[in-house]
Amino acid sequence: MHHDIAGAQCPTVNSPMKCVWTSILLLSAVLIAPAWSFAQTSGGFGNTLSEIVALAKKEGKVRVCSSSPDERDVDKFFAEFRKKYPGITVEYTRCRGTESRERILTELIAGQIEYDLLHVSDELIPKYRKAGVLAGPFEWSRLFGINPIYVSPDRHLVGAGSSVYAILYNPKLVAQEKIPRDWGDCLDAYWRGKFLVGTRANVFISLYPAWGKEKLLDYVRRLAANKPIWVREGGTEAMNGVIAGEHPMLCGAYLSSALRSLSRDPRAPLGISIPREVPANLFATFGIVKNGRYRNAALLLAGYLASDEGQKSYRSVFRESPYDEGSETGRRIKEAGSKIIFTGWDFTAEKEDEVLRWILQIWGFPMGQESR
Report the CATH superfamily, name and number, of domain 163-281+324-363: Periplasmic binding protein-like II (3.40.190.10)
The amino acid present at 107, given as its one-letter code, is: E
Q: Which of 141, 138, 112, 154 is nearest to 44 (CA)?
A: 138
253, β-bridge pairs? 166
* Mean pLDDT on 121-127: 88
Handedness of CA 30, 35, 36, 42 (dihedral sign): positive
Helix axes 295-306 and 49-59, enclosed angle (nearest 10): 120
> Which letter, b or e, does each residue of 142-158 get, where b requires 16 or more Cβ atoms within 10 Å of its Cβ?
ebbebeeebbbeeebbb
pLDDT per residue as tens digits for the range 204-216:
999 999 999 999 9
Distance CA 333, CA 340 (A): 8
User: How would residue 368 be classed by pLDDT, with cut points 50, 70 and 90?
Assistant: low
281, β-bridge pairs? 163, 343
Distance CA 362, CA 225 (A): 10
Phi, psi of 220 (to 5 degrees): -70, -25
If one compares 27 and 297, the residue with the highest pLDDT of the two is 297
User: How would residue 23 be classed by pLDDT, with cut points 50, 70 and 90?
Assistant: very low
Q: Beta-carbon neighbour count of residue 232 at 10 Å?
A: 14
Question: Does 33 score more than 80 pLDDT?
Answer: no
pLDDT per residue as tens digits for the range 141-200:
999 999 998 999 999 999 998 999 999 999 999 999 999 999 999 999 999 999 999 999
Percent of the chain scoring above 90 in pLDDT: 71
Alpha helices in the chain (DSSP H): 16-31, 35-42, 49-59, 74-84, 97-109, 125-131, 140-144, 202-205, 208-225, 236-243, 255-264, 295-306, 308-311, 328-336, 349-363
Q: For residue 163, what are the contacts with CB-CB under 8 A and spacing of at least 6?
A: 202, 254, 256, 280, 281, 282, 283, 319
Question: Does 330 score more than 50 pLDDT?
Answer: yes
Percent of the chain scoring above 70 in pLDDT: 87
The chain-wide mean pLDDT, for the chain, equals 87
Q: Which of 260, 190, 257, 263 is nearest to 228 (CA)?
A: 190
> Per mean pLDDT, which of 12-21, 35-44, 331-340 is the most reliable?
331-340
Q: Strands 117-119, 196-198: parallel, antiparallel or unpaired by DSSP? A: unpaired
State which fold the 35-161+282-317 domain adopts: D-Maltodextrin-Binding Protein; domain 2 (3.40.190)
Q: Strands 249-254, 157-169: parallel, antiparallel or unpaired by DSSP? A: antiparallel
| pLDDT at position 332 | 95
* Mean pLDDT on 257-279: 95
Least confident of 123-127, 167-171, 353-357: 123-127
Same fold across 35-161+282-317 and 163-281+324-363: yes
Residue spans of the domains in the chain: they are: 35-161+282-317, 163-281+324-363
| pLDDT at position 5 | 30
| pLDDT at position 367 | 75
User: How would residue 39 be classed by pLDDT, with cut points 50, 70 and 90?
Assistant: very low
> Per mean pLDDT, which of 24-38, 145-159, 312-326 is the most reliable?
145-159
Question: Does 54 score more than 70 pLDDT?
Answer: yes
Phi, psi of 338 (to 5 degrees): -90, 155
The amino acid present at 226, given as its one-letter code, is: N
| pLDDT at position 234 | 65
| pLDDT at position 154 | 94
Question: Does 226 score more than 80 pLDDT?
Answer: yes
| DSSP states of 184-245 | GGGGSGGGTTT-EEETT-HHHHTTHHHHHHHHHHHHHHHHHHT--EEESS-SHHHHHHHHTT
Least confident of 26-35, 77-86, 189-198, 252-261: 26-35
* Mean pLDDT on 317-340: 91
